[in-house]
Chains A and B, each alone.
Chain A
Amino acid sequence: MAQSPQTTVAVPGGSFLLEPAGSTPIFTVEDFGEEQRAMAAEADRFMQKEVWPKERRLESKEGKAAKEMVQILKKACDLGFGQVEVPEKFGGIGADKTTALLITDKLGTSGDFCVTWGAHSGIGLAPILYFGTDAQKKKYVTKIADGKMVSCYALSEPGSGSDALAARTVAKLNDAGTHYILNGTKQWITNAAWMDVGVVFAKVDGDKFTAFIVERDTPGFTIGQEEHKLGLRGSSTCQLIFNDAPVPVENVLGEVGKGHKIAFNTLNLGRYKLAIGVLAAAKRSLAESMQYAADRKQFHTRVLDFGATRDMLADSIIQIFLGESLSYRIAGNIDARLHSLNDSAPDYVDQQMAAIEEYAIEASIAKVFCSEALDRIADRCLQWHGGYGFVEDYKIEKFVRDARVNRIFEGTNEINRLLIPGTLFKRGMHKRLNLYGAIGQLEQRLATDDFAPAPAGAEGTQLAEFALQRLKWLTLTVAQALSARHGVALEGEQETMVGLANLIIDVYAIDSGVARVIKRVAANGASSEAIVSACVTVAACEALDRGTVAARRLVESCYEGDVLQPWLAKIDRLGAHLPANLLVLRRAIAADAVAKGGYKLSSY
């Protein structure tokens, strides 16, 4: 079994907002051992040799290229990449979540393959792996993992995307009681053209949301035309059309009427994986574009050497470092919980799902943070190319096109943003998370402490830690203000919820970065970690600037006059603009990346 060392403990999801940074150890890529690194290196090699050179041809999907993606997929399965998360009992490797995330990371560097692979080995396999009966697992899991069958996952419909439970595809048991007869249409289904099997959601008798395993040769089941997409053109996206299609009763996945359990848990699993995949794409965009910017001269100066370029570069490096830190942290947290489970317990699956759901807030943050980081980074990389970024001679135009959809699928970023504070408040209310206790403690502190506007003589990560703690307190104060004002009606105040979500996203990203830097400094000493320390300092100070203003605007949006004043006074005490020359730090971050030829703040 491939496993990471257990470096982390099972903290409650959402507790990052309540506890000081680094108060519990987090898993970071630095923890990977030799075996995992060897797997990663092989996955990386596979992508560079088997996928990167074929990307343009794959996009055409014409002639021979139509089948080429499937061949690549099967080759990846031959090397065992499909078996990573399959338990040994079913012929797999039974790797833990951190190892699985590492493989997803390394296979994520090409959008078309990444989405094809994710639909097949991730969302197309996981529902059967977790919720299937032994007979279903025996029949399908090995075949999918070995690439003998290509899989897909069909939830969305023409009329229901974000509101997936409003699906209109129906299933009705036939008179003989042997088959469910499916009618309806699924929309945007990745791998549709190549699928041999799929997990399809339909409502039994029009109201009981249920998952089915559907095989390609089912009568009455057809595949629609390929969509003409902005990006990911090398992947297949079509409708699945069901016209009185009989599906055997033994292919019901999980229980009739419990399909939502499968749908939502699959999303929880998929989101932090999407996050690491898109970061891999961002790293590649950056590496290729830095090369271009190093070769291109204007005004006798390399484009890479202009301050304006370097500023964007520093930003990109910071975003990648934070994204990496938070994504692997989630996998490590889940592993810590899964580790303590007994796999022969009768409710093992429910316990596994609970372990994953525990970090639903973090997974939504990862999805939003990383997909937006990729868009920003790819867009800036295109900018460095000038006009050459706008034509097909360079791959950056493709990277930009491929990036965009990541903000749409696996729950749009709006849906994910709304989930972040929504889930947090729910857990606070149900006392799953000590949110209101922490708010009470802050309240007491405000009565006794005089909050210094800035730390005296801060060094290393101290400034970042100071700024981060202030940001946490500001966020708690905003949460307190909003829930006091709106109560349960807050859910309807989407603009406000989104504003609060942005604060929480900043907190989690910076908290993860700071915790990682603390860990690295403890291992390697402060002097060799100066650049990562600069990264979190810049991120934290800037987030506190933004957060202070945002907090004021948020309370101003729901209070006025005498009631407003005490809230603003609190924010003024907690918020701060820290005196620091961030430009010097940004320049150092960029210069380091230029000297090393790309994002090199981690090597794994």
Chain B
Amino acid sequence: MKILVSAKRVSDPNARLQVAKDGKWIEGDVEYVMNYFCENAIECALQIAESQDGVETVAVGIGDEDTARFIRQGALARGIDRGIYVAAEESEIDSDLIARIYEGVVHRERPDIVLIGKQAVDGDSNQVGQLLAEYLGWPQATFASKVELQGDEAIVTREVDGGLEVIAVSLPCVITADLRLNEPRYASLAGIMKAKKKPLEELEIDDLDLDDADPKVKVVALSTPSGRKAGVLVKDVDELIAKLRGEARVV
């Protein structure tokens, strides 16, 4: 069995981002961390690999040069067997193109499961897994909080609005990982040192023979959230209700 997992870097959610001069991207001088949901996907793949023999795990990262470091330190150091890095300008790819790149990698690797973070905590698009399943014509199980393999099926518990849904999808399939799926492990120092020697293949988008390698979404402008407006003091409950009805239109 072969499992493909996503390894994406995101700008540290706690960092202060600044819009770049062209107004279309962020300033490069920020700290990056591994996307939280990718960490869950990686952990899930490792647990499957530890629970049965003959599982190969492969981490895929797409983006700027530094992405390779995240594949090595975030995935290979934790125990993923090897990595594939696809070089791309992060400001020039959208969710659709990322899904197509994954599709290209899937055609080369022919995995049984693609485990992807449900979304990246930078763009928050939440689209890649779904698009990929569509392009591959594979079943998908999104927002997974539990994954069990039974024969040629994956039994996946999904976090849906107001509860949990358990579904069975036949392999090969796409699963997107949610936060409660597991508690991602740390990389041990030995793991970090071993990661250096693990294979990490580097590809260009051109190497994947995509039919369509154009992004569909163009970023027109980025802006920081405007500061919150000052509140007003109300005299009494009646005035509050009047304002909620009249001005805010929430009741």
Contact = CB atoms under 8 A, between A and B. Distances in A.
Asked if A and B are interacting partners, one says: yes
Interface of A: 2, 34-35, 38-39, 41-42, 45-46, 78-81, 83-84, 93, 596-597, 603
B190 A80 contact: yes
B192 interface: yes
Contacts of B73: 34, 38, 41
A170 B195 CA distance: 50
B156 to A, nearest CB: 27
B148 to A, nearest CB: 26
Contacts of A41: 73
A79 B189 contact: yes
B77 to A, nearest CB: 6
B69 A42 contact: no
Interface string B118-134: 00000000000000000
Interface string B183-209: 000111110110110000000000000
A81 B189 CA distance: 7
A42 B196 contact: no
A35 B186 contact: no
Q: Which of A2, A38, A83, A84 has the most CB of B within 10 A?
A: A38
Given A41-B73, A597-B16, A603-B31, A35 B188 contact: no
Nearest to B77: A38
B31 A2 contact: no
B228 to A, nearest CB: 14
| Interface of chain B, main secondary structure | helix
A79 B193 contact: no
Interface of B: 16, 31, 69, 72-73, 77, 186-190, 192-193, 195-196
A80 B69 contact: no
Given A38-B77, A38-B192, A79 B16 contact: no
Nearest to B33: A41
A79 B192 CA distance: 10
Contacts, number: 43
A80 B190 CA distance: 7
B188 A38 contact: no
| Interface of chain A, main secondary structure | helix
A79 B188 contact: yes
A93 B69 contact: no
Contacts of B190: 80, 83, 93
Given A38-B187, A46-B186, A80-B189, 20 more contacts: A2-B189, A34-B69, A34-B72, A34-B73, A38-B72, A38-B73, A38-B192, A39-B189, A41-B73, A42-B186, A42-B189, A79-B186, A79-B188, A79-B189, A80-B190, A81-B189, A84-B189, A93-B189, A596-B16, A597-B16
Contacts of A38: 69, 72-73, 77, 187, 192, 195
Q: Which of B31, B72, B186, B189 has the most CB of A within 10 A?
A: B189
A42 B187 contact: yes
Contact of A45 (B31, B186, B189, B192): B186
B187 A35 contact: no
Contacts of B186: 42, 45-46, 79
A84 B188 CA distance: 11
B40 to A, nearest CB: 15
Nearest to A95: B189
A84 B189 CA distance: 8
Contacts of B195: 38
Q: Which of A46, A80, A597 has the most CB of B within 10 A?
A: A80
Given A41-B73, A45-B186, A597-B16, A35 B31 contact: no
Nearest to A99: B189
Nearest to A103: B189
- 9 tightest Cβ-Cβ pairs between the two chains A and B: A80-B189, A38-B73, A80-B188, A79-B188, A38-B192, A42-B187, A80-B190, A79-B186, A39-B192
A85 to B, nearest CB: 11
B33 to A, nearest CB: 9
Nearest to B78: A42
Nearest to A83: B189
Given A42-B186, A42-B187, A35 B192 contact: yes
